[in-house]
């Protein structure tokens, strides 16, 4: 395609090369009438998703799995020629997810029983989460996500959430 063809395309800017930005740029890029520019401020694409190696160990940072039960996910895997790189859990065994909390690895358990026995949050924070549906609604409508989370779930839960979803750097 020559420069003349691209000058007739509508230019679209996608800000951010995290998973959402990459997905948006990929989908928009399928449209032959669009020219897509992706802007990312960091030195890598993927947002919090990255892999780093240290002392012979691989560390997967950020979310590392997808629910491939949806046709769209399978289509992207095929379109990007990633089928040979797709990894399945062997034998249906679950994989432990560990996060670093206060300098120590803590297993992230997603079952209700596992969650309540986890050292991730204090008993008080777990109780606060359990009672959240019964808390009175606030009259304040102009809250940030952090303010809403702290009010509804408590500061400890907010801190844990921020730790889990922060931008990991090497």
42 within a domain of the structure (yes/no):
no
Of residues 169 and 83, which shows the higher confidence score?
Answer: 83
Region of 91 please: left (phi>0), alpha (psi -120 to 50) or beta. Answer: left
Instruction: Return the sign of the alpha-carbon dihedral for residues 163, 89, 81, 27.
Output: negative
80 within a domain of the structure (yes/no):
no
Number of domains forming the structure of the chain: 1
**Would you say residue 158 has pLDDT above 80?**
no
Counting every residue, how long is the chain? 170
**pTM of the predicted model as reported, rounded to 2 decimal places:** 0.49
Domain span at residue 141?
Answer: 96-170
pLDDT in tens, 51-69: 888 888 777 777 656 666 6
157 within a domain of the structure (yes/no):
yes
């Amino acid at each position: 395609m020559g420069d003349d063809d691209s000058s007739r395309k509508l230019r679209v800017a996608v800000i951010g090369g995290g998973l959402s930005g990459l997905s948006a740029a990929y989908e928009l890029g399928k449209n032959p009438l669009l020219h897509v520019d992706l802007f990312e401020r960091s030195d890598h694409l993927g947002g919090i998703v990255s892999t780093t190696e240290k002392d012979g160990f691989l560390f997967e940072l950020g979310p590392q799995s997808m629910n491939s039960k949806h046709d769209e996910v399978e289509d992207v895997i095929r379109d990007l020629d990633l089928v040979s790189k797709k990894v399945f859990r062997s034998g249906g065994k679950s994989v432990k997810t560990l996060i670093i909390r206060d300098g120590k690895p803590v297993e992230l358990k997603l079952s209700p029983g596992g969650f309540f026995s986890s050292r991730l949050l204090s008993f008080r924070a777990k109780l606060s989460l359990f009672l959240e549906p019964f808390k009175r609604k606030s009259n304040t409508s102009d809250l940030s996500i952090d303010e809403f989370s702290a009010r509804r779930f408590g500061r400890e839960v907010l801190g844990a959430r921020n730790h889990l979803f922060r931008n990991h750097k090497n």
